[in-house]
Amino acid sequence: MSFRPSVISSLLLIASVSTASQASELPAPIQALADQGWEIHGQFDAPGGLRGFGASTQGQEIAIYLTPDSEHAIVGTLMDSQGNNLTEAQLDQHVRTALEAETWQLLEESHWIQDGNPDAPRLVYTFTDPNCSYCQQFWEQTRPWVEAGEVQLRHIMVGILAPDSPAKAAVLLGAHDPSAAFKRHKESEAITISAQPRDIEDQVYANNQLFEGLGLYATPTSAFLRETSNGDIRIERMQGMPDEAQLTKMMGGPAPDTK
């Protein structure tokens, strides 16, 4: 399955905006939680006269149930008489979808280096450290898809693995032609560290903050879009070097025949 990145990002952004607008006028107990830093993503119908709200705080997904008098809020999991969890599906729809929309937008707005045809039908973001041997392996193994024009990679340059990683990442981002400099680096050209403008150094810092803010711990970590069995478009992340099956899934199918 292929996706046009500009179309998908627009749809995800619309989803994010729509859920935010639902939270513009909140009942007092829900507003009190929002004032404490909870992010309210949207609301949903719940049984027993309750109103449900999808929320998150400190990376935790939470369902809030407003009592019929709108004076009290209950935080937790709602079960039916058969012991079925009625909250999980609502969290998936009203929290995770919104968070993924925000994540995809953050990836788009990060500082990345283009690798492959910008018009390729499939897009993969990947966090890359210049000193990461697994990132090198990942780059090598993705060449069949990239060189065939089937996949474009966007390398979000971070500096986390070694003391000179931030400086090397800045050199690549600050190059006259970052894509060409990145390719030479991957083809074994050593990076000569040199002073970069402050805004380039800030780009590496912002990428590092994004990496940490998303709770990531390994490079490469890659994100791509997938279609669920019910037709929804969701984001999937893979931390670390993918195995053969994971790589095929990420790239959208088997490696093309380059002969």
Are residue 42 and residue 122 in the same domain, yes or no? no
Are residue 176 and residue 55 in the same domain, yes or no? no
- From 62, 81, 107, give the residue that closes a domain: 107
Nearest to 40 by CA among 118, 99, 88: 99
How do residues 142-174 score in pLDDT, each as one tens digit?
Answer: 999 999 999 999 999 999 999 999 999 999 999
Are residue 135 and residue 199 in the same domain, yes or no? yes
Are residue 99 and residue 29 in the same domain, yes or no? yes
Are residue 74 and residue 126 in the same domain, yes or no? no
Q: State the pLDDT at residue 258.
A: 64
Are residue 200 and residue 245 in the same domain, yes or no? yes
Question: Could you tell me if residue 194 is inside a domain?
Answer: yes
Are residue 127 and residue 100 in the same domain, yes or no? no
| Beta strands at 151-157 and 112-115: parallel, antiparallel or unpaired | antiparallel
Q: Along the chain (259 residues), what's the average pLDDT of each consecutive run of 10 residues? A: 43 43 74 93 91 86 94 95 93 82 92 97 97 97 97 98 98 98 97 96 97 92 87 87 96 86
Are residue 184 and residue 237 in the same domain, yes or no? yes
Q: What distance in Å separates the CA atoms of residue 193 and residue 216, rounded to the nearest whole number?
A: 26
Are residue 189 and residue 170 in the same domain, yes or no? yes
Q: What distance in Å separates the CA atoms of residue 210 and residue 106, rounded to the nearest whole number?
A: 8
For residue 87, which amino acid is it?
T
**In which domain, by residue range, is 62 found?**
5-107
* Residue ranges in 126-224 assigned as alpha helix (H): 133-141, 143-147, 165-173, 178-186, 198-213
Q: State the pLDDT at residue 59.
A: 66
- Contact call for residues 15 and 71 (beta carbons, < 8 A): no
Q: State the pLDDT at residue 19.
A: 44
Are residue 143 and residue 194 in the same domain, yes or no? yes
Q: State the pLDDT at residue 5.
A: 44
- Cα torsion angle, 229, 222, 180, 174, sign: positive
For residue 70, which amino acid is it?
S
Are residue 74 and residue 134 in the same domain, yes or no? no
Q: State the pLDDT at residue 224.
A: 95
Nearest to 29 by CA among 14, 40, 19: 40
